[in-house]
Structures are given as C-alpha cells and as structure tokens.
Chain A
Amino acid sequence: QVQLQQWGAGLLKPSETLSLTCAVYGGPFSGYYWSWIRQPPGKGLEWIGEINHSGGSNHNPSLESRVTISGDTSKKQFSLKLTSVTAADTAVYYCARGTYYYDRSGSLLRSPIDSWGQGTLVTVSS
C-alpha cells in the first residue's frame, strides 16, 4: 500500500514562496503521475498541477505563471513551489498519485487520483 508523506512550511508572509515536498513510500515512483491539489478552508478542491510518467508537467492555467512542480526519481519525491503567495493561497495542500494503464489498442490512458497525502495547511498572513 503506497503512502505519501508531505511536508513544508505552514506559515508564510505575502509575496513569499510556498514550498512543499512529498515522499513516496511502499511503492514505485516511476510509471505514475504525481499531483498537487489544494483546498481553501471550507471550500472545494482545486487541481494545481502534476508531473507525468515522462517527467513533463502540466499546470492549472490559473496558477501556471507561479507554479513549479518537479520530481526526483532517485529519492522518490516530488515538490511544489508556488511563488508570490497571497492570502488567497491559504489552503490545505495535498500531494497525490494517479495511475496509468494501457487499453486494448495499446494506448496509454490515465486513471484518476487514487492515493493522497495527509495534507498540509499553509496559511499566508502578514
């Protein structure tokens, strides 16, 4: 059973950079896609972005200019950096894993996220 353990600073000042890391235990790193999702207090889920099986990344267009997601296969870790944070970035941030599979025609497809980290509350306040 894969476990995702995440950590990072929980209190930031406006304009600072949010930095979170997620480590993968009990399963491989390669062959999956690795995502970050956030949830402001009392609100819904927002997909931030991901790194995919080939090392490329995709981001939510609304955050793209401020987001960097990277992975370290040797350490089985992936990270999120979000620059120039404001109070609107206050949220619980989750790391998560999704799976790929091949269909009968040999096309590589994705299953939705099936494993989540414990979540980290990041508060942005002056």
Chain B
Amino acid sequence: DIQMTQSPSTLSASVGDRVTITCRASQSISSWLAWYQQKPGKAPKLLIQKASILEGGVPSRFSGSGSGTEFSLTISSLQPDDFATYYCQHYNSYSATFGQGTKVEVK
C-alpha cells in the first residue's frame, strides 16, 4: 500500500506569509495527487488535482507542484480565510490514500 506523509503537522503563520506544505509518497505516484482544504465541521474542499491543476474558483494564490514521490502545496500570500487543515491525497484506479493533514494556524 502507498503511504502519504505530510509535513509539517502544524504550521503557524501570519496573514501575508508564503507557506508551503510538503507531501511525500512511499513510492512513485506520477502526478496522481490532490490537495484538499478542510475547515472545522465541514467536508473537505478540492483545491488541486493532478498535482498542479487548480480547481475552478480556487484563488490563484494556491499552487501545487511535484511528481513522483515529492509534492508541495504553496499559498503565496496567506489570507484570513486560508487558516484551515490541508490534506494531500493519492488517487488511482483502485484506491485512495490521504496524508495525515497539516493544520495552518494563526501565529
């Protein structure tokens, strides 16, 4: 089974900061990686698919990169609405695995 490991688990930042979250796969997953944002009490929201394709309506301050085993989600200028928990997810034709999550909190 493919394991997904995110770092850091918690990230303290201020509005306007550039933040980067990393996700590592235990084996190559090509670009089959998605990023979700989840706020307390809500279902996750899809931000990025195929490692770098931004979903419609998602602000351009979000970007994704990587392939193989190393991926990252970057928020270029953190906004108040961005304080949330972020998950990476590997998806393929027969399974899906989430990373353990990264909570972005107010510094």
Contact = CB atoms under 8 A, between A and B. Distances in A.
A37 B89 CA distance: 12
Interface in B18-56: 34, 36, 38, 43-44, 46, 49, 55
A93 B55 CA distance: 24
A45 B46 contact: no
A44 interface: yes
Nearest to B1: A61
A112 B46 contact: yes
Interface stretch (A12-20, A76-84, A115-123): A115-123
Interface in A42-78: 44-47, 50, 58, 60-61
Contacts of B13: none
Contacts of B87: 44-45
22 contacts: A35-B96, A44-B87, A44-B98, A45-B36, A45-B38, A45-B44, A45-B87, A46-B98, A47-B97, A50-B96, A58-B94, A60-B95, A94-B43, A96-B43, A110-B91, A110-B92, A111-B49, A112-B34, A112-B96, A113-B96, A114-B55, A116-B44
Interface of A: 35, 37, 44-47, 50, 58, 60-61, 94, 96, 98, 109-114, 116-119
Interface of B: 1, 34, 36, 38, 43-44, 46, 49, 55, 87, 89, 91-101
